[in-house]
Amino acid sequence: MRCSVFDNHPQPSHGKQTRTQRALPCGSGVKYKRCCGRGTAAALRGFTSADRESALRKLGHFLEGPGWPEVIDDAEDLFWDYVDEPNAPTGEDAPILELMSQMVFEGWLFYDFQLEPGWHVVDAFLQAAPGLSLAERRYLRAMQSTCVHWRGPA
């Protein structure tokens, strides 16, 4: 399964330059720049880093609303349950590892934690947040299509 915000066309193999006269790896028959060559630029176009920061800030404020602290507590219990004292980060790298772990948790909470089957925190936010710009919505939808499917210890 391919997990990305990019087009679902196979990318050219590394080391081979795709030229306009060659057949495209996806077999579409259109020009490279209009098909396989546009995936990265097309996916990233439409929002800026300021849009990203604004969308995440608004999502954080949304989660401070009524009912959400209990949901976050349940998500934290599920996500952090595998970490016990012997596995906790120690030493001089502990603060940075804890920060990185918190960032992974937040990404999982926003886009992958299911409130009910097929319904995630970002879905509830997008439905209830009329003040989002189109670019903020694009960013959140792009992030929603990424894969950070943590399922806990095996």
Same domain, 56 and 112: yes
pLDDT classification of 21: cutoffs 50, 70, 90:
low
Tell me, yes or no, whether 28 lies in a domain.
yes
Q: Based on the structure, what is the number of domains in the chain?
A: 2
Same domain (yes/no): 133, 64: yes
Residue 149 lies in a domain: no
User: Do 29 and 53 share a structural domain?
Assistant: no
Tell me what the pLDDT averaged over the chain comes to.
74
Same domain, 18 and 54: no
Residues pairing with 120 in the sheet: 114
In a domain, 154, yes or no: no
**What pTM, to 2 d.p., does this model score?**
0.61
Whether 100 and 120 map to the same domain: the answer is yes
Res 50 pLDDT > 60: yes
Q: Is residue 152 part of a domain?
A: no
**Are 133 and 69 members of one domain?**
yes
- Could you tell me what percent of the chain has a pLDDT over 90? 32
Residue 37: per-residue pLDDT = 53
Tens of pLDDT, residues 79-137:
887 655 566 667 787 888 888 888 888 988 999 889 999 899 999 999 998 789 999 99
Shared domain for 31 and 65, answered yes or no, is no
Hey, which bits of the chain come out as E strands?
114-116, 119-120
Q: Give the number of residues written for the chain.
A: 154
For residue 98, the model assigns a pLDDT of 82
Q: Are residues 30 and 91 in the same domain?
A: no
Give the pLDDT score at 23.
61
Residue 151 lies in a domain: no
Determine the structural domain holding residue 17 and report its residue range.
1-45
Q: Is there a domain that residue 33 lies in?
A: yes
Task: Identify which of 58, 51, 7, 9 has the alpha carbon closest to the alpha carbon of residue 29.
Answer: 9
CA quadruple 1, 74, 72, 87: dihedral positive or negative? negative
